[in-house]
Amino acid sequence: MTPDRPDHSPDLTPDSDPELQWICVFCGSSAGEDPRYLDAATKLGRSLAKRRIGLIYGGSQMGLMGRLADSVLDAGGEVVGVLPEPLLPREVAHRGLTQLVITDSMHERKAEMARRADGFIAAPGGLGTIEEFLEVLTWAQLGMHRKPCGILNINRFYDPLSAVFDHGVREGFIQNVHRKMILVEAEPDRLLDRMRAYQPPKVPRWIEVGET
């Protein structure tokens, strides 16, 4: 497989209603301390393949990322990995993907993943996972896209982050309409059902695509 390089600028198509043909999953390149995290990655991958939803992810064969990609591929699904060239030696690129896209930078990686995806899921992971999810969530808040943003809350991993969101609402820093954009479930199928049924709220478009 020859890695590809993206040919298009970011396009979040903010005016289109989402159809879940491709979902971007942010998750850890580590496996975590609890085997339930790997089990959940397997279950999510199988659910995506069963629903004929393609996976877009960070391109690594390590940790939850690798398990997720393998489970989609083993079930007959399609997987696109997006990996920045500087991380190729460290993240150990998965060589069995449907497509591997190589970008020049982390910024281009995130833009390419967002452009290709019809929705976003944060599974357990570290700082990079959380940062990537919060960025696409912020884009939704700003009206730059209408794609569903979900959290797969395995082993209550994201309870503390959800508490921060709720605290932000109570303290007047997060609007309730934006809090409701965040779909949180512990089971992959339940989360995918809610993402498919998601009706984006009408929010002002504070910034146009291309102005970031």
Instruction: Chunk the chain into consecutive blocks of 10 residues (it has 212) and report each block's average pLDDT, rounded to whole numbers.
Output: 47 54 96 96 97 96 96 97 84 88 93 96 97 96 94 97 97 95 97 95 62 46
Q: Are 61 and 68 in contact (CB under 8 A)?
A: no
pLDDT attached to residue 17: 42
Q: What gap in Å lies between CA 132 and CA 56, rounded to an integer?
A: 13
In a domain, 206, yes or no: no
Q: φ, ψ for residue 127 (rounded to 5)?
A: -60, -40
pLDDT at residue 88, rounded to an integer = 76
CB within 8 A of 129, min separation 6: which ones? Answer: 26, 27, 28, 122, 123
**Among candidate residues 73, 124, 122, the one with its CA nearest the CA of residue 100:** 73
Domain residue limits at 75: 22-196
Which ranges constitute the DSSP H helices of the chain? Answer: 35-50, 63-74, 88-91, 106-116, 127-141, 159-170, 176-179, 188-196
Structural domain count, the chain = 1
The CATH number of whichever domain residue 99 belongs to comes to 3.40.50.450
Let me know if residue 51 belongs to a domain: yes
Domain annotation covers residue 106:
yes
Q: What angle do CA 167, 172, 178 make, to 5 degrees?
A: 80
Within a domain: 10: no
Question: Is 208 part of any domain?
Answer: no
Tell me, yes or no, whether 50 lies in a domain.
Answer: yes
Q: Is 208 left (phi over 0), alpha (psi -120 to 50) or beta?
A: beta
What per-residue confidence (pLDDT) applies to 154? 97
Residue 203 belongs to some domain of the structure: no
Query: What pLDDT is recorded for position 152?
Result: 98
Structural contact between residues 115 and 13, judged by C-beta atoms closer than 8 angstroms = no
Domain-located, residue 138? yes
- Give CA–CA dist 59/6, Å, rounded: 14
Model confidence, pTM: 0.88
Percent of the chain with pLDDT over 70: 85
